[in-house]
Chains A and B, each alone.
Chain A
Amino acid sequence: MMQIRVEKRIVVSKGFNASIRIFTLLLSLVLVGILFAIYGINPLEAYARIFMNAFGSEFGLSETIVKMLPIGLCATGLAIAYKARVLNIGAEGQLILGAMAATWIALYSNIPSSLVGAVMLLAGFAAGALWAAIPAVLKIKLNVNEVITTLMMNYISLELLDYVLTGPWKGPSQRGFPLTDPFPSYARFPLIGGTRIHYYTLILLLVLAIILYVFMSRTRIGYEIKIVGSNPEAARYAGINVSKNILTVMLISGGLAGIAGVGEVAGVQGRLIENISPGYGYTAIIPAWLGGLNPLAALLASFFISGLMVGSDSVQVSLRLRASFVDVFNGMILLFFIGSEILTRYRILIEARGRKIWI
């Protein structure tokens, strides 16, 4: 008879934590390596290429940073919300609303051109925050589960985007295609020469991540957010206004996602398109947790995940594997990485023929 039991770990050292994560990462690389080998590709060569394409060339590194901007902005905000146990799944929709607000400023407002950049960022933040405020208020007033509402708001935002692109904002010069006209040049964020990095957004991301880190670790509200997250009942007894904290984290995470949307329209695409976000708002959930809900660590995790996505271009382009293999590759590595979370908190006991094996 074989028995398997799962028990909570009592003491977890940091070193143990790290070694578990490295172990699971290696395990996933070995498994994906077998897949590479099945396709007749030397796994070590494949990994070398993926790494070089993500971080080892000027082009790869710059593209990793371009991708890190929206993912990092969403992830740092989500980290704060999740810290308060407010499960905002709606960064995707909040990003889209931010992009739409920036588009309105760029194409349809009469704001002086020198102010357009700043106003787009403010409007984007406000739009994302307001979009997130709806589920926040529903949660506070009616106790509606925010996982459902934020997720559903994503679909509403997509329909809204579809409506403006096929209706009132459809660019007159776009031959009927669902695209807006291009932004005027003063509404485009400048790029670092030779790359596609829009550095306004990059600077903003770095500054905001540091501010959020300080906010969470050094301020009274940050402390309250942590208490609300770990024990809402205790927080209430301690006289903490739970509703106010829920609203705060939703506004912050929604606003940051909104800024990510501004960066995509003003920095990358130069216009609003239907496919403005290939799922950045969902992808960002992963680095938020991977970073242990710490804004700076979430930023680092976003850099890693963006590198993984950019590097895996090479799976298709130079290793000549199918695009679906890229999804399998990314999926396996992320699954193992997230799965390792369980192993850091629980241990598994396998008992077979009188022997005990602890994992």
Chain B
Amino acid sequence: MSIPKISGIMVLLIAIFFAVGVAIGYVAGGWGKVPGYEYGMPVKKLKAGFIYVGPVEDFGWTAAHDQARKHVEKLFPWLETVYVESVEEAEAARYIERLVREEGADIVFTTSYGFMDPTIDVAQRYPDKLFFHCSGFKRRPNSGTYFVDFYQVYYLNGLMAGALTKTGKVGYVAAHPIPEVIRHINAFALGVKEANPEAKVYVRWLHEWYAPELAREAAQALVSIGVDTLAFTEDSTAIVEFAQQQYEQGKQLYVFSHYSPMQNVGPDVVVSGQLVHWEVIYADILMKVALNVYNNTNLENVDYLWMLKEGAVELGGKPGVPVNPKFIDELKNKYLPGKSISAYDAVMNRLALMKEANVPFDPFTGPIMDQNGNIKIQAGQRATIEQLFTEQMNWFVDNIIGSPSG
């Protein structure tokens, strides 16, 4: 009875090999020939729509998605894209439907958590079209989900922050008290703790994703209580600009840029940060759609959660520059407490481990205690996806000052 089972798997494997082979064939065939890229064209043209929550020049979330859109449009000659920016949640359904119904989009990417229900509703009404919702968890046969996560990178930022702070006070300006942001603050705090067990992380909530004025005020308030190192989740360069101005007035702050390359905005203050490569995911999805690996019957279980290993996120405040050279010596001279490895080497070492296929290192490895002294992750164990990515992530690591509920 096991023979048909094996042959089933074999058929599947052959099908996958065939699909991958065809993909390589098409791509290699097409890119090699400069004018005649028609060889590289899969069966038909594809039109992809993108729904953005912010303006495309927000220097954060939406800008990153839009750069990825431009990237894949250049990459695939058979791809046409259309986007709508500054879409309010209350109006998302109309724009999504407009793209598939009036603009002839074959696939729509919706890039805000609040677009989840509208995406599913429209997907239900247009079963022949494909949809991908970013950051949500609801799927249908014609609607998948995708996300990248930064917690590994936040941990590395935290290591550097702990090594650099002179006052032992590290600030974090945070957007909304949701599991994603809490996870990032915790990962950052774990890094800080490892490099400097005495240091504290002070959290201030903005309750906004994009609020340059509020962010600036929050940074100022943190600095006034002695914070000299800042990380943040807010989609503008306000905090980096603030720190650079402080530097020009003679006060050195250390800042970790968020989401977009911000090192050029604060060349004397940005140590490192997180960068996103949505194009890696978009290219993968669109290629598979073009080759009919993904279609309107099989997206129910398609859920991307890509991190360092897949190259969807990068450490640094500038592409290709994991640590601002200005701070490398300082980080090399600072050793992790009780260890013979410098902060710089520790960062590079763990970065390499987290890029490996089997990810031999994870920041959320116990014992990890919350602010009330409860053990949240047992010694020697790794946090589960559930613990990290659901509402269970509603606690703060014990070196954080502030409330995880906002």
Say whether A313 contacts B177, CB under 8 Å. no
Distance in angstroms from B124 CB to nearest chain A CB is 12
Residues of B within 8 A of A60 (CB): 102
User: Given the complex of chains A and B, what is the CA–CA distance between A175 and B137 in angstroms?
Assistant: 10
Distance in angstroms from A227 CB to nearest chain B CB is 39
Distance in angstroms from A163 CB to nearest chain B CB is 11
A313 touching B179 in the complex, CB below 8 Å, given contacts A176-B394, A177-B113, A322-B85 = no
B178 contacts partner chain A, Cβ-Cβ < 8 Å: yes
Say whether B90 contacts A318, CB under 8 Å. no
Please tell me which one of the listed residues B90, B98, B176 contacts residue A317 in the complex, with CB atoms under 8 A apart. Answer: B98
Say whether B114 contacts A273, CB under 8 Å. yes
Query: How many chain-B residues does the 8 Å CB contact rule pick out?
Result: 34
Residues of B within 8 A of A166 (CB): 177, 207, 406
A92 contacts partner chain B, Cβ-Cβ < 8 Å: no
Say whether A273 contacts B90, CB under 8 Å. yes
Chain A 153-197: CB-based contact to B (< 8 A → 1; otherwise 0): 000000000100010000010011111001000000000000010
A146 contacts partner chain B, Cβ-Cβ < 8 Å: no
Distance in angstroms from B145 CB to nearest chain A CB is 13
B359 contacts partner chain A, Cβ-Cβ < 8 Å: no
Q: How large is the interface on A (under 10, 10 to 19, 20 to 34, 35 or more residues)?
A: 35 or more
Residues of B within 8 A of A274 (CB): 89
Distance in angstroms from A266 CB to nearest chain B CB is 14
Say whether B94 contacts A66, CB under 8 Å. yes
Residues of A within 8 A of B178 (CB): 175-177
Residues of A within 8 A of B82 (CB): 317, 320
Of chain B, the residue at the smallest CB distance from A70 is B90
Of chain A, the residue at the smallest CB distance from B82 is A317
Say whether B55 contacts A176, CB under 8 Å. no
User: Given the complex of chains A and B, what is the CA–CA distance between A269 and B137 in angstroms?
Assistant: 18
Residues of A within 8 A of B390 (CB): 175
CB<8 Å pairs between A and B, sample of 16 = A66-B94, A176-B178, A176-B391, A176-B394, A177-B176, A179-B114, A196-B93, A196-B94, A269-B90, A270-B117, A275-B90, A276-B90, A313-B94, A317-B98, A317-B99, A324-B55
The chain A residues found within 8 Å of chain B, CB to CB, are 53, 57, 59-60, 63, 66, 162, 166, 172, 175-179, 182, 196, 264, 268-271, 273-278, 310, 313, 316-318, 320, 322-324
The chain B residues found within 8 Å of chain A, CB to CB, are 55-56, 82, 84-86, 88-91, 93-95, 97-99, 101-103, 113-114, 117, 137, 176-179, 182, 207, 390-391, 393-394, 406
Known pairs A176-B177, A271-B117, A313-B98; list 16 more (Cβ under 8 Å): A59-B102, A60-B102, A166-B177, A175-B179, A175-B391, A178-B176, A264-B90, A270-B117, A275-B90, A278-B91, A313-B94, A313-B95, A317-B84, A317-B99, A317-B103, A322-B85
The 8 closest A-B pairs by CB, nearest first: A323-B86, A176-B178, A275-B89, A278-B88, A323-B85, A275-B90, A176-B179, A176-B391
